[in-house]
Amino acid sequence: MPEARTPAQIEADIIRRREQLAETLDEIGVRVHPKTIIGDAKARVASSVEQAAGRAVFAVNRVVTDVKAGFRGDDGAPRVERLVPVALVAVGLVGLLVVSARRRRG
């Protein structure tokens, strides 16, 4: 049979449980506070954006590496037969942009 508790023990238990309940209510109050909810949402969005940006950087890096590999031979030397047409297209595009800009001004 369990020992009978004294009124002082019962009162001490009540005080301890009241303090625990107050702490729990404070924690709940912090968790459901709009600033906390907004902060958590911002953190999740930032994490998601960082992950997406990391994947994008990785994908772009892979594409750039593949493109570079297409302009170099197995020995690492530039492949002129691929570089010349690309250079001609780039020069043509720059020329079109210059002509277009001059037409807008005049």
DSSP characters over 24-76: HHHHHHHHHSHHHHHHHHHHHHHHHHHHHHHHHHHHHHHHHHHHHHHTB-TTS
Domain membership of residue 67 (yes or no) is no
Per-residue pLDDT in tens (0 to 9) along the chain, 106 residues: 678 899 999 999 999 999 999 999 999 999 999 999 999 999 999 999 999 999 999 999 999 998 888 888 888 888 888 888 888 999 999 999 999 999 888 6
Phi, psi of 76 (to 5 degrees): 90, -5
Domain membership of residue 21 (yes or no) is no
Record the pTM.
0.46
CA triplet 24, 28, 30: central angle to 5 degrees?
A: 115
Its domain, for residue 96, covers 76-106
CA distance 31 to 23: 12
- The number of domains in the chain is 1
